[in-house]
A and B are shown apart, each in its own frame.
Chain A
Amino acid sequence: MDNIKINQTPDNNLLSEILSNTFNNTDIRFYLINDNIILTKNYIINTNIIEVYDTVQLSDIQEDKSIEHKISKSVSPESILSESLQDIIKIGNPVLKEEKGLATITGFIKEELTGEPVIGCVVYIDDLQKGVITDVSGYYIISVPKGEHQITIHSMGKEDVTKEIIVYSDGSLNIRMEEKLIQLSGVVIKADRYHNVGGVQLGMDKLEIKTIKQIPASLGEADIMKSAILLPGVQTVGEGASGFNVRGGNTDQNLILLNGAPVFNTSHLFGFFSAFNPDVIKDFKLYKSWIPAKYGGRLSSVFNIDTKSGNRKKLAGNLGISPVTGKLTVEGPIVKNKSSFIIGGRTTYSDWILRRLKKADIRNSRASFYDIVGKIAYDINDRNMFDISAYLSSDYFKFNTNTEYNYKNRNLCTHLKHIFTNKLILDLSGIYSHYSYSIYENESELEKSNLTYDIKYGEIKADFNYFLNSSNKINFGLNSGLYRLNPGSYLPEGKESLIIPVRMENEKANETALYISDEYDLSQKISLYAGFRYSVFALLGPRTVYNYAGGIPRNTSYIEDTAFYSKNRIIKTYSGPELRLSLRYRLNTNNSVKLGYNSMRQYLHMLSNTTSISPTDTWKLSDKYISPQTGNQISLGYYKNFLSGNIETSAEVYYKKIRNLIEYKGGAELLLNETIETDLIKASGKAYGVELMVKRNTGRFNGWLSYTYSRILVKADSQFEESKINSGKYFPANFDKPHDLTCVANYKFSRRLNMSGNFTYSTGRPITFPVAIYNINNFRLLHYTDRNEYRIPDYLRLDFSVNVEGNLKSKKIAHSSWSFSVYNVTGRKNVYSIYFISKAGRVNGYKLSIFGQPVYTISYSIKF
C-alpha cells in the first residue's frame, strides 16, 4: 500500500470519527475491531463478509489473509468454521468481476483440531448441483461460473460447512472443518451423500473407520475387511477365511492398497483378523465396478486404504485392549502445523492364552502376530507436500506339530505432491512392497528343512491432474513397477538333514502402464468419465522355459526342448488396452442413472487350489503359458435420494466376463513345481448380479439394508479330458452365493450410548460331494466327479454390540470407551464346511462350524 499522510488534530474525538474524517473521499476503508484498526483499499469489509483473495494473482496475499483471520476471530466467533449463513466469502479479484465466464476455486480442507487434511470430502456447489472430492492432501479444485453461489463442504463425522460465496475470478478457499461434537455421530456408511446421485462413478463404497468400529466384531476387534464383506457385492467363502470376493472375482483379483502400496497377504491368523490396525486407518474406498484409469493390475476391485496423518497440533494417543489384541497409537506434530507423525502398533497375547488352555494339542500350539504402521507428513510449502509411510505385519504359528509358519508384509511408500499451478497437480509416489513366508519343518533331524517364498514389488507412479476447464478434469500418468519373485527355496537345516536343496528360479517382470482419463460434464444433466489405460507386461530373464510337445496335454514327459533366457532378456510380453467408461444422466436433483463399462488386465496371479487362501499360497507372474487374466464388466445403476439425501437408495446390475482364469488339475502340486504349467487349466468365467441398497446416513437411527443376487460361473473346457472340469460345462465357483441379505443398524440413545446390530443371510457356498464309493485293498474310498454340485446349508447370523463412551467432559486428560459385543447372538451353528472321511472301512460325513455359540467380547480403549 502506498503511504498516506494523516493530518488531523485529535480533539477528544472518537477514534472512529478521526478515521472517518481521514479516509473520507479516499478509496481506503477502515474498520475498528476491538483495538485493531484495519485498513483496506478498494474493498469494503462488511463485518459479515470475509474476503479471500486469490493467492496467485495478488501479491499481497499475506496481508489479506491476516485480515480474514482477525475478522473471523473477533467479529464472529463461529466465523468461517461455523454453519452461519450470514458470512459471504468473496473469492478472487473484484476488478475482474465484470468479465463473464468461469473461475476456478482451489484450496485445502483441513481438520480444525488436528490440522490433518480431510481426504475424500465433498466440496459441493449447491445451486449448480456439482461437486468434487478432495484428494489425499485435502486439496480440491472446482470451476464455477462467476457470481454468487452456495458451497457446502461435507465430510463424514464432521460438521457440514455451508458458505455463501461471491466469485470474482480464480481464487482459493481454505476451510477448516470441525469434528462433530458427538463422537458417536450417527453416520454409518458414506458413499458420499452428494455422490450417490451426482457422481459419475458406479459401484463405489467408502467406509470410515468410525463406522467400522461400530459394527459388531467377532473378536472385539474392528476389522476393515470383515466390514467390507457387509457391503453389497462383496462376499467371502466362510468365517475366518482370508480375502473376499467382489462381484464374482477371485480373492486374488482385488488390488489392496495401503497408502498406495499393494499388500499381498491381508490377514492375521489365517484370516480371523485383517492385517490392518483399525486405530491407524482413516478410511477405505472400494471400487468394484467403476475403477479409475489410474488403477490397474487386478480384475475385480481396488480396495484403497488410507492411514491417518498424525495430529499437527498436539501429541495424542490411543490405547486399546480387546480379548485377543492390545494396541497403542501415538501421533503428534514434529513442527507444529507443518509436519506430523503417527505410529501405531498392535500385537496379540494369544500365545499367552494358548499356553493356559487345557486341551493339549492347543496348548502346544503357538500363534502370534503383530503389525506396525507409521507415517510422517510434511508440508514443505503451499505447493509441495511430502509424506512417507511404512508398514510391517508379521505372523507366526505352530500347531502341536513341529512345523512353524511365519509370514511378513513390509511396505514402504513415499509420496510427493506438487502443485504446479492451480490447474496442474502432480502426485509422485515411490512404493515398495515385500511379502515373504517361511515354513520351518522340525519333525525329524533327517528332514529338518526351511521353505521360503518371497515377492518384492517396487513401483514409481506419476499421476497428474489437469483441470482443463470447469467441465473437464483430466487425469493422466504413468505407473511402472518391477516384480521379483522367489517362487520357493527349500533348504536343509542342521547337519543331519538329508533334504535335497531346491532353489526355484526367480521370476522377474516389469509392468508399465500409461493412462489418461477425462471427467467431462457435458451439461448439468450428463457427465461422462472416459478413461484409457494401456499396460505392457514383460517377463524378464534369467529363466529357463520348457517347450512342450503340441497336440497333447502339457506333460513333463514330453518336454521337447528347454530354452534359457539370460538376465533381463525379454521372455514374453503381453500388452493391451483397458477402457474405463462411466456415464451419468441426472434425471433431477434426486435421481440419476449411470452406465459403466470397464475392462481390466491382470498379470499377477495367486496359485491356490484350496477353498480359501491358505498360508502357503503363492503369487505367480504371467509367463509363456499363463496368459494375463482379463475382465470386462458392464453395469447399470439407478440412484435415488429421499429426504434431501438422508435416505439413499440404489440399484445396480452388472454382467462380467472373465478370461484366462487359472484352474487346477486334480492333485496339482503348486509349491516348488518347476513345471507348474502342466498342472494348470485355463478357464473362463461369467458373473452377473443385481445389488439393491437402502441406507440412512444421519439421525439417531441409521444403517443400511442391502440385498444382492449374484452368480459366478466358471467353465474349463479343453480338447483334452484332463484339462476339463465338470465335462467343460459351467459350474459355480466356490464363492457363488446367489442370495445375500445384509442389514446393519445403528441406534444412538445418547451421546454416550450407542447400539449396533447386524444381520447377514446368504445362500450356502457350493461344495463337492462324493458321487460313489468303491473298495480297493480293503479301503473304502470316495469317488468325486463334478465340482461344486451341492451346497452347504444357508448362512444366517445376527450380531449385536453396545458402545459406551466415558463421560464427555472436555477437560479430561484421557477419554475412555467400552465396547461390548455378541457375535452370533442366536448361537446358530453355521456350517463352515462339509467333508467326508473314509476311515477303518467306513465313510462318514461331517459338518464343521466355527462359531457354534454366541461369542461375547469386551474391549476397552483410552484416548489421550
Chain B
Amino acid sequence: MIKYFKILLYTTLILIIVANCIDPFYPDIEEYENVLVVDGFITNENSVYKVKLSRTQHFDDAENKPVPGAVVQVIDDSGNVYLFRETKTGTYESNPGEFTGQVGRKYKLNIETTDGNKYESGFEGMKNIPEIDSIYWEYKEKPASDVNNPYRGIQILIDTHDPENKTRYYRWSWSETWEFVTPYHKDTLPRHCWKKDSSRVIEISSTDHLTEDIIRNYPLYFISEGTNRLSIRYSILVRQYSLTSDCFNYWSRIRETNENTGTLFDPIPTQVIGNITDLNNPDKPVLGYFQASAVASKRIFIDRSELIALPLSVSSGFEYCESLIVKDSLDNPRPEYLGYVENYGWVIYFQEVSGPILVTYLTNSISCVDCSLTGTPVKPDFWIE
C-alpha cells in the first residue's frame, strides 16, 4: 500500500507541476501593422555607423522590407550635421572618418523618407563606459529533464565596475570564434578552420538599485559540451556598452515582450516604443531606438588543455560523420561504393591508385572533410596560439 501510494504521489505531482506540456503553435494571424522600424546605433569607436530602415513584416513573412531613398542625418548637440548615405537598400552609413561619437555629447537622428514623412529621435547622450574588469569562466551543470544527466558546459561570466558610479546601465554583446578540425582529410581540402558566431540574446543589467556601480558574476553565456566550440581552442570577445536609463528601459521591455514564459504571471505583451517620433503624425508608432553608446571590449581564450580535468565530454561536432575506404581491383569495375553514392548520397572525396588496387575514400557528407563548408580556413588576425 505504501508503495502504491508513493507511486501515486509521484504521478500526481509530476502531472500537476511538472508535466505541463508545451507544443509548437502555428497561429493564423491575419492582422498586420505596417510601421517604420529604425535600427540606428552610434558608438565612440572609430568606425562606420549604420542606420537601417525597414518596415515591419507580416508574422508569416520572412522577407525583410528595407526602406530605400531616405535622407538620414545624425545631429549632435552643437548642431553639427552628419549625413549618412545609402550603401545597400535600406542601409545608411556614415562617411568613414567624418565623425566619431564622443562621450559626453548628445546625438539625435533625423529621417526623411521618400514619401516626405519626417521622423526624429530624442537627443541621446553618450555616456562613459568603464573597462570590463574581467571575463572568466567556470564549470557548470544546467538542470535537464534527467537529473542524472544534466547539461554540462562552461559558463562565461563578467565583472565590471564604475568607480564614479555613473554608468549604471549596461548592455553586452559578444562574438565568439573557435577552432575545429574535420575528422577526415584530403590534402587539397582545408581541414583546420575557425568558426564564428555572435550573441542573439539581449544581455542587459543595471545597478541603479545598488549603492555602488558594481556588476559581479554576470552570467553572459553558457557553452554546452554538446557543440565543438571547446574542442580545440575557443575565444570570446565581449563588448560592453553604456546605456541611458531610457535606453535600458527600452531593451528591458523588448526582452520582457520577446522572452515570455507562457505563464499567467507574465505581463500581457504590449507595443514597445523607443525614442523615435513620426513628426507628421506623432500618434503613429515608430519602432526601434536610436542608441548612442561608448564601448569597452575584452577578449579571452579558452584552450582545451584548461578543461582536461573537468567532467566534460566535448563534442567534435562531427559525430554524424562516417567514412568508408573501399579497396577495389582495377580490372573489376563493380565498385560497391556506387550503391552508397546513389542510394545514400555519400560522397567520394578521394581516390588513389595503389598498384593494381583502386582505393576510394567515401564519406556521408563532404563537410566531414572540407571544413570551409562550416567555417573559414583563414586564421583570424587576433588569434593567439
B291 nearest CB neighbor, chain A only: A777
Q: Contact check: which of A349, A612, A838, A845 meets B27 at CB < 8 Å? A: A845
B258 within 8 A of A: yes
Q: Contact check, A832 vs B271: say whether CB atoms are below 8 A apart.
A: no
CA distance in complex: A270, B173 (Å): 36
Interface-lining segment among B207-215, B300-308, B340-348, B374-382: B207-215
Which residues of B lie under 8 Å from residue A783 when comparing CB positions?
33, 35, 56, 271, 287
Which residues of A lie under 8 Å from residue B56 when comparing CB positions?
772-774, 783
B23 within 8 A of A: yes
Q: Contact check, B12 vs A772: say whether CB atoms are below 8 A apart.
A: no
Q: Contact check, A612 vs B20: say whether CB atoms are below 8 A apart.
A: no
CA distance in complex: A786, B266 (Å): 17
B25 within 8 A of A: yes
Which residues of A lie under 8 Å from residue B217 when comparing CB positions?
444
Q: Contact check, A324 vs B12: say whether CB atoms are below 8 A apart.
A: yes
A834 nearest CB neighbor, chain B only: B25
Q: Contact check, A779 vs B287: say whether CB atoms are below 8 A apart.
A: no
Q: A775-B64, A856-B11 are in contact. Are A846 and B253 (CB under 8 A)?
A: no
CA distance in complex: A835, B22 (Å): 10
Q: Contact check, A774 vs B287: say whether CB atoms are below 8 A apart.
A: yes
B8 within 8 A of A: yes
Q: A350-B13, A846-B23 are in contact. Are A362 and B211 (CB under 8 A)?
A: no
Residue from B16, B59, B64, B207 whose CB has the most chain A CB atoms within 10 Å: B16
Q: A611-B266, A783-B287 are in contact. Are A777 and B41 (CB under 8 A)?
A: yes
A558 within 8 A of B: no
Which residues of A lie under 8 Å from residue B261 when comparing CB positions?
835
A851 within 8 A of B: yes
B201 within 8 A of A: yes
Which residues of A lie under 8 Å from residue B262 when comparing CB positions?
832-835, 846, 848
CA distance in complex: A391, B26 (Å): 47
Which residues of B lie under 8 Å from residue A45 when comparing CB positions?
none
Which residues of A lie under 8 Å from residue B260 when comparing CB positions?
835-837
Which residues of A lie under 8 Å from residue B18 when comparing CB positions?
357, 359, 362
A353 within 8 A of B: yes
Convert A748-761 into 0s and 1s, putting 1 for each residue whose CB lies closer than 8 angstroms to a CB of B.
00000000000000
Q: Which of B271-292 contact A (CB under 8 A)?
A: 271-273, 282-283, 285, 287-289
CA distance in complex: A667, B254 (Å): 10
Q: Which of B44-96 contact A (CB under 8 A)?
A: 52, 54, 56-59, 61, 64
CB proximity of B275 to chain A, nearest CB, Å:
13
Q: A771-B31, A772-B33, A778-B200 are in contact. Are A833 and B57 (CB under 8 A)?
A: no
Convert A828-856 into 0s and 1s, putting 1 for each residue whose CB lies closer than 8 angstroms to a CB of B.
01001111111111011111111111011
CA distance in complex: A610, B269 (Å): 9
Q: Contact check, A853 vs B15: say whether CB atoms are below 8 A apart.
A: yes
Convert B1-44 into 0s and 1s, putting 1 for each residue whose CB lies closer than 8 angstroms to a CB of A.
00000001111111111111111111101011111010101000
Q: Contact check, B13 vs A610: say whether CB atoms are below 8 A apart.
A: no
Convert A28-48 into 0s and 1s, putting 1 for each residue whose CB lies closer than 8 angstroms to a CB of B.
000000000000000000000
B216 within 8 A of A: yes
Q: Contact check, B17 vs A362: say whether CB atoms are below 8 A apart.
A: yes
Q: Contact check, B210 vs A849: say whether CB atoms are below 8 A apart.
A: no
Which residues of A lie under 8 Å from residue B263 when comparing CB positions?
833, 848
Which residues of B lie under 8 Å from residue A841 when comparing CB positions?
200
B12 nearest CB neighbor, chain A only: A323
CA distance in complex: A219, B13 (Å): 9
Which residues of B lie under 8 Å from residue A502 when comparing CB positions?
209
B143 nearest CB neighbor, chain A only: A360
Interface-lining segment among B126-134, B145-153, B229-237, B327-335: B145-153
Q: Contact check, B15 vs A840: say whether CB atoms are below 8 A apart.
A: no
A770 within 8 A of B: yes
Which residues of A lie under 8 Å from residue B32 when comparing CB positions?
771-772
B356 within 8 A of A: no
Q: Contact check: which of B31, B59, B150, B270 meets A789 at CB < 8 Å? A: B31
CA distance in complex: A576, B273 (Å): 40
Q: Contact check, B33 vs A359: say whether CB atoms are below 8 A apart.
A: no
Which residues of B lie under 8 Å from residue A354 when comparing CB positions?
13, 17
Q: Contact check, A771 vs B210: say whether CB atoms are below 8 A apart.
A: no
CB proximity of A376 to chain B, nearest CB, Å:
35
Residue from B10, B12, B31, B35 whose CB has the most chain A CB atoms within 10 Å: B12
Q: Contact check, B145 vs A359: say whether CB atoms are below 8 A apart.
A: yes
Q: Contact check, A768 vs B12: say whether CB atoms are below 8 A apart.
A: no
CA distance in complex: A844, B270 (Å): 18
Q: Contact check, B270 vs A845: say whether CB atoms are below 8 A apart.
A: no
CA distance in complex: A357, B217 (Å): 30
A722 nearest CB neighbor, chain B only: B273
B202 within 8 A of A: yes
B198 within 8 A of A: yes
CB proximity of A447 to chain B, nearest CB, Å:
7
CB proximity of A681 to chain B, nearest CB, Å:
11
Which residues of A lie under 8 Å from residue B35 when comparing CB positions?
772, 783
Q: Contact check, B9 vs A768: say whether CB atoms are below 8 A apart.
A: no
CA distance in complex: A711, B35 (Å): 32
A666 within 8 A of B: yes
CB proximity of A835 to chain B, nearest CB, Å:
4
Residue from B20, B143, B270, B282 whose CB has the most chain A CB atoms within 10 Å: B270
A137 within 8 A of B: no
Q: A609-B268, A666-B253, A783-B56 are in contact. Are A498 and B10 (CB under 8 A)?
A: no
CA distance in complex: A498, B145 (Å): 35
A625 within 8 A of B: no
CA distance in complex: A774, B39 (Å): 10
Which residues of A lie under 8 Å from residue B257 when comparing CB positions?
781-782, 784
Q: A362-B18, A772-B34 are in contact. Are A840 and B24 (CB under 8 A)?
A: no
Q: Contact check, B143 vs A361: say whether CB atoms are below 8 A apart.
A: yes
Q: Contact check: which of A363, A784, A843, A851 meets B269 at CB < 8 Å? A: A784
B264 within 8 A of A: yes
Which residues of B lie under 8 Å from residue A778 when comparing CB positions?
198, 200
Which residues of A lie under 8 Å from residue B26 when comparing CB positions?
845
Q: Contact check, B19 vs A852: say whether CB atoms are below 8 A apart.
A: yes
Residue from B57, B146, B254, B258 whose CB has the most chain A CB atoms within 10 Å: B258
A790 within 8 A of B: yes
Which residues of B lie under 8 Å from residue A609 when comparing CB positions?
267-268
Q: Contact check, A848 vs B271: say whether CB atoms are below 8 A apart.
A: no
CB proximity of A727 to chain B, nearest CB, Å:
9
Q: A323-B12, A610-B264, A848-B20 are in contact. Are A790 and B27 (CB under 8 A)?
A: yes
CA distance in complex: A241, B39 (Å): 39
CA distance in complex: A858, B264 (Å): 28
Residue from A612, A839, A846 whose CB has the most chain B CB atoms within 10 Å: A846
Q: A447-B210, A666-B270 are in contact. Are A612 and B264 (CB under 8 A)?
A: yes
CB proximity of A263 to chain B, nearest CB, Å:
20
Q: Contact check, B29 vs A237: say whether CB atoms are below 8 A apart.
A: no
Q: Contact check: which of B11, B57, B265 meets A772 at CB < 8 Å? A: B57
Which residues of A lie under 8 Å from residue B225 when comparing CB positions?
none
Q: Contact check: which of A350, A665, A721, A838 meets B259 at CB < 8 Å? A: A838
Q: Contact check, A768 vs B268: say whether CB atoms are below 8 A apart.
A: yes
B144 within 8 A of A: yes
Which residues of B lie under 8 Å from residue A667 when comparing CB positions?
249, 253, 256, 267, 270, 272
- Can you give 20 contacting A-B residue pairs, CB < 8 Å? A353-B13, A357-B14, A361-B143, A500-B209, A666-B270, A667-B267, A769-B29, A773-B59, A774-B56, A777-B39, A784-B271, A832-B264, A835-B261, A836-B260, A839-B201, A843-B59, A845-B25, A849-B20, A850-B16, A858-B8
Besides A779-B202, A784-B270, A787-B270, 16 new A-B residue pairs in contact (Cβ under 8 A), listed by A number = A219-B16, A324-B12, A350-B13, A358-B146, A363-B143, A400-B143, A499-B211, A609-B267, A665-B270, A782-B258, A782-B269, A783-B33, A783-B271, A785-B31, A789-B31, A848-B262
Identify the B interface with A (CB < 8 A). 8-27, 29, 31-35, 37, 39, 41, 52, 54, 56-59, 61, 64, 143-148, 150, 173, 198, 200-202, 207, 209-212, 214, 216-217, 249, 253-254, 256-273, 282-283, 285, 287-289
Report the 5 A-B pairs with minimum CB-CB distance, sorted nearest first: A360-B143, A666-B270, A612-B264, A772-B56, A614-B265
